[in-house]
Structure 1
Amino acid sequence: MAEPHRIVIVGTGLAGATAAGTLRQQGFTGQVLLLGQDTHRPYELPALSKGILLGDTTDPDWVHDESFYADHDVDLRLSTTVAEIRPGDREVVEAGGAVHPYDRLLLATGSAPRRLDLLPGAGLAGLRTLRTLDDARALRAELTEGRRVVIVGAGWIGCEVASAARTHGAEVTVVDPLPLPLHRVLGDRIGGVFRDLHAEHGVAWRLGVGVNAFLGEGTGEGTVTGVALADGTELPADVVVVAVGAAPRVELAHAMGLELAYPGGVAVDEGLRTSAPDVYAAGDIAAQTHPRYGGRVRVEHWANAKDQGAHVAANLLGAHEPYTASPYFFSDQYDLGMEFRGLADPTTDELVVRGDPAAREFTAFWLRDGAVRAAMNVNMWDDGDALAALVDSGARVDPAKLVAGDLADVMG
């Protein structure tokens, strides 16, 4: 496969910007065009729900220094909407009509926050989501002493927003139809650790109940004043944060006829190549045939976007190396810090716990067929390399050694 002369990247998030930088690091001297709708230069997302909401900083971690793009001849075009991609003609068309030919194309369009637009009151002012730098800065201004904050959704974003809001003295209620926070990811026992953590810091839980409507007052669309729950309860609110997950932005991929994957994302092979010639996808939208997991995997976390963006660069230049990394993410809530590696199904995998969950110093392992499918260390920071090796190896292990043995020697 001949090296391309012009590579176009659609999406100025972490995956797209990392790919652009890695292309230059690998010696590519052709044209690199990076197109995205955001008004800010590429940045990483973790600080949005952590440092920025906590008030530790007003800026995210930028993917590159401001001068990087000009210094490395990357044509970065912000505030740019791509209206159409014509794979037959190998062209990307902006909403304003500008046409950009490509030899290779990377789609890195990321995700958009899911909304509850079908509920009554969904258009009220004061309803917030958290996905962009502007979202984070606006929400931070509202998380102040005594403000009544209702968070709809007890996933990672909902829990981190709750932590930040309580740190600033806001009154916080979290609503979720599931019985525990993070239930689908962590299951009953570990989900209970996070429920108790937030309760001890003053969060009011409304679990096992859904939302029927958003309540408001005022002229025009009005301003949110509360949340009506399915059990008839009405929660007063000065601000409501909708944190019910994110949806991959696959509209362009669908319109250009790419194969999509159920239940979401763009279908890509082991090397992140889509069903169209010379078109690749990375980050949140990439539903990859993963060589380690034997099926399609789509991951929305920070490390996946960064690592896939770096990995796909070589494939854009003609290689076809499979992406094999295990998923990884981290979270900080109050005085609890954690890292999670791998993929688990808490409804069927065997849970093994090392340490003391009550003291919030422990490691949780999820085993399937005797092998560690996922591991989460909570406030324990010495075993990261051993945990990564356990997850990546797929080797069968003795659960008793996970509880009490030297993790570096478990696979031996």
Structure 2
Amino acid sequence: MSGILIIGAGQAAASLAAKLRMLGHDGPITMIGEEPAPPYQRPPLSKAYLLGEMERERLYLRAPAFWEEQGIALRLGTRAEAIDTAARLVRLADGESLPYDQLALTTGARPRRLPAAIGGDLDQVFTVRTLADVDRMRPAFAPGARALIVGGGYIGLEAAAVAAKLGLKVTLIEAAPRILQRVACAETADHFRRLHAAHGVEIREGTALERLEGDGAGRVRAARLADGTAIAADLVVVGIGIDPDTELARQAGLAIDNGIRTDEYGRSSDPVIWAAGDCASFPWRGGRIRLESVGNAIDQGEAVAANMLGQMAPYEARPWFWSDQYDEKLQIAGLNAGYDRIVRRAGAEPGALSHWYYQGDRLLALDAMNDARAYMIGKRLIEAGRSPDPALIADPATDLKALLRS
């Protein structure tokens, strides 16, 4: 019996494998992971782990004994090189081939890197994606060091917050006119710009990087900007986005559409190959989306597991995200694409604030800063397809919970 193979060993893979067993699948399950570590959480890497507040073992999604107890074989430190769809075989980098009855691709995403031609391969230039990435960069985060963060999205802002907390001198550059341009409204960007300024981070928006410059030993020493100015840097963190890891799927002839293209059940263009997590593109509200979030990796992984066993229920995504910066917790529900109005709501507690995204009269999403109550209620409203009158949201006297009953 060939069983089920899972390529990838992150959050989606762990959720999928555990769900298969929970639903009663008793056949072989093998998880192939390129990294040597067992499945672990990624969000704390750029926060608690980089700060030294979380031990490595606490990152693990399950105790190592769990996988053995469940009869889930982990092939770690192992790279899958090719998929032979006709023979239903996965070839590993060491030459071994593993057969499968069904195959799940949870290959995740890879960080965009700066080209070598502009200094991307210099020493002390880092990306933040894997445990190994953060282990490499931790020694460089020394008090007084000059850190340059390239990119003003959530990864860049989180790295800037950690660097500032550790006593580094931090400059963040963003080529777009403002930070969080692709993912949040101007009001949320303004909030976080002020937060970082209060912690001594210099943010330069509308500032493009021309190249990084090294010293004679190949170590980064400065960044040359498009306007001709230079910034001294002892280390550089690159946070300019991620791309779905679709190479294996592409080589195998699977359909690609901003990720591995799946149907509503998570099945690829090959009927026995499935995809879940950051690498998967799936139908949503008349279009297609790909979600880069822990919540989606968990939910989609579990949904695909059930469908691999014959349930065949369409996956209903409920997007949610979060970001921790300093002592601030940002919680996001929904997707804000197409919004034309922002409603600001002051929370009941000092410092609590939320921004609600509307398209006409329809509530799309919200950003809640230190306001868990607004987040939880807003998330339930969005998932139920309910859109309260914006005037009620803006009025701090409104009991949000009552909106769930009205």
Aligned AA for 1:228?
Answer: R
Gaps of 5+ in 1: none
Gaps of 5+ in 2: none
Instruction: Give the corresponding residue for 2:204.
Output: 206
SS in 2 for 1:284: coil
Contact 2:366 2:375 in 1 (8 A): no
Instruction: Give the corresponding residue for 1:269.
Output: 263
How far does residue 118 in structure 1 lie from its aligned partner after superposition?
A: 5.2
Find out whether 1:233 has 2:224 as its counterpart.
Answer: no
Cα distance in 1 for partners of 2:280, 2:321 equals 17
Deviations 1:69-117 (A, max 9, x none): 1111111000111111011221111122211111111000001110111
Cα distance in 1 for partners of 2:360, 2:59 equals 39
Aligned AA for 1:129?
Answer: T
Contact 1:82 1:92 in 2 (8 A): yes
Instruction: Give the corresponding residue for 1:378.
Output: 369
SS in 2 for 1:39: coil
Cα distance in 1 for partners of 2:248, 2:367 equals 36
Aligned AA for 2:160?
Answer: A
Contact 1:342 1:375 in 2 (8 A): yes
Instruction: Give the corresponding residue for 1:242.
Output: 238
Of 45-54 and 303-312, more deviation after overlay is shown by: 303-312
Contact 2:332 2:375 in 1 (8 A): no
Instruction: Give the corresponding residue for 1:47.
Output: 44
Instruction: Give the corresponding residue for 2:130.
Output: 132
Find out whether 1:330 has 2:322 as its counterpart.
Answer: yes
Instruction: Give the corresponding residue for 1:282.
Output: 276
Contact 2:339 2:358 in 1 (8 A): no
Contact 2:212 2:223 in 1 (8 A): yes
TM-score normalised by the chain length of structure 1: 0.94
Contact 1:349 1:368 in 2 (8 A): yes
Instruction: Give the corresponding residue for 1:409.
Output: 402
Cα distance in 2 for partners of 1:321, 1:56 equals 40
Instruction: Give the corresponding residue for 1:400.
Output: 391
Instruction: Give the corresponding residue for 1:27.
Output: 24
SS in 2 for 1:287: strand
Instruction: Give the corresponding residue for 1:390.
Output: 381
Contact 2:354 2:374 in 1 (8 A): no
Contact 1:58 1:137 in 2 (8 A): no
Q: How many residues align?
A: 402
| 1:86 equivalent among 74, 84, 87 | 84
Cα distance in 1 for partners of 2:55, 2:133 equals 12
Cα distance in 1 for partners of 2:399, 2:191 equals 25
SS in 2 for 1:289: strand
Cα distance in 2 for partners of 1:288, 1:369 equals 26
Cα distance in 2 for partners of 1:356, 1:44 equals 30
TM-score normalised by the chain length of structure 2: 0.95
Deviations 1:186-241 (A, max 9, x none): 1222111111110111001111010000100124xx10001110011110000001
How far does residue 383 in structure 1 lie from its aligned partner after superposition?
A: 3.6
How far does residue 141 in structure 1 lie from its aligned partner after superposition?
A: 2.0
Contact 1:86 1:92 in 2 (8 A): yes
Of 299-308 and 26-35, more deviation after overlay is shown by: 299-308
Contact 1:50 1:332 in 2 (8 A): yes
Find out whether 1:303 has 2:295 as its counterpart.
Answer: yes
Cα distance in 2 for partners of 1:11, 1:170 equals 35
User: Structure 1: which 4+ aligned runs deviate by more than 3 Å?
Assistant: none
SS in 1 for 2:86: coil
Contact 2:104 2:273 in 1 (8 A): yes
How far does residue 56 in structure 1 lie from its aligned partner after superposition?
A: 0.6
Contact 2:374 2:400 in 1 (8 A): yes
SS in 2 for 1:283: coil
How far does residue 248 in structure 1 lie from its aligned partner after superposition?
A: 0.7
Q: What RMSD, in angstroms, separates the aligned Cα atoms of the two structures?
A: 1.8
Cα distance in 1 for partners of 2:359, 2:224 equals 41
Contact 1:119 1:212 in 2 (8 A): no
Cα distance in 1 for partners of 2:55, 2:136 equals 11
Deviations 1:12-65 (A, max 9, x none): 111112111111111110000100100101101011011112221132521211
